[in-house]
Amino acid sequence: MQLSNEISNSYELLEFLKKQNLLKEEPSYWWPSSSDFEILIGAILTQNTKWTNVEKSLENLKKLNILNFEAIIEVNSTVLVEAIAPSGFKNQKSQRLKLLAKNILEEFGSFDNFCQSVNREWLLEQKGIGFETADAILCYACHQEFMVVDKYTQKLVSYMGFEFETYEDLQAWCEYGINENLDKIFELYGYEISLNKLYCRFHGKIVEFMKSNRLKARVKE
């Protein structure tokens, strides 16, 4: 299949990516983590850095037992800064994590209540949280029905000949083709899959496809 002229909507893109068998070794929701809390922290740490750097920071936080809101608020700033240093922007990210932890506890009381009750508007009001981070938290940590679109998604659809003016236009294109073709998607998977899990796996497939250099190989063909 020619990616650049045979795919006309996001359902067809999902179908194409699914045939590539990209997530065979990955967790079922794609984002690797031992908890949803870790995903929330990872979504902040992954801004402007490679995922492998985030993994190092999360390892440090785990060893120091700083993977809950109370610990993030109470830990000495210097310790937090050093723990997350592999992800870069360590002072800024440390301040933002501390402020976010405080605001979440004040507004929602617990992580579980946060996941159930938080909405996109509240997240976007938090310092340092833009569309992509908000959607990563909603989709992967809170299991809500939002699809993350990122630089990989932009690059892939641009190669396919689509240009979108805003993040939300691209997100709407991705979500629309999936929502409109749920019956076909269930057939493709062989079972009913939740919209949240579908968005997780669709975004995961896009990231893995782009990281695998398979697009470059196709461009050369």
CB 87, CB 49: distance < 8 Å: yes
- Residues from 34 through 93 that contact ligand 39A (CB under 6 A): 46, 51
Closer CB to ligand 39A, 44 or 100, in the complex: 44
Percent helix, strand and coil across the chain, each rounded to 5?
70, 0, 30
Roughly how many angstroms between the first and final C-alpha of the chain, as a whole number?
12
How far, in Å, CA of 6 to CA of 56, rounded? 40
Minimum gap (Å) between residue 177 Cβ and ligand 39A: 22
Closer CB to ligand 39A, 31 or 209, in the complex: 31
Closer CB to ligand 39A, 34 or 117, in the complex: 34
| Sign of the four-CA dihedral 97, 102, 104, 109 | positive
Minimum gap (Å) between residue 53 Cβ and ligand 39A: 10
Hunting for tokens 């608020």 — which residue is that?
Answer: 73
CB 116, CB 42: distance < 8 Å: no
Closer CB to ligand 39A, 13 or 22, in the complex: 22
- Using CB under 6 A as the binding rule, whether residue 31 contacts ligand 39A is answered as yes
What string marks each residue from 200 to 219 as x (binds ligand 39A by CB under 6 A) or -?
A: -------x------------
Closer CB to ligand 39A, 47 or 126, in the complex: 47
CA angle 158–159–162, rounded 5-degree value: 40
Minimum gap (Å) between residue 210 Cβ and ligand 39A: 9
Q: CB nearest ligand 39A: which residue?
A: 51
Binding residues for ligand 39A (CB under 6 A): 31-32, 46, 51, 207
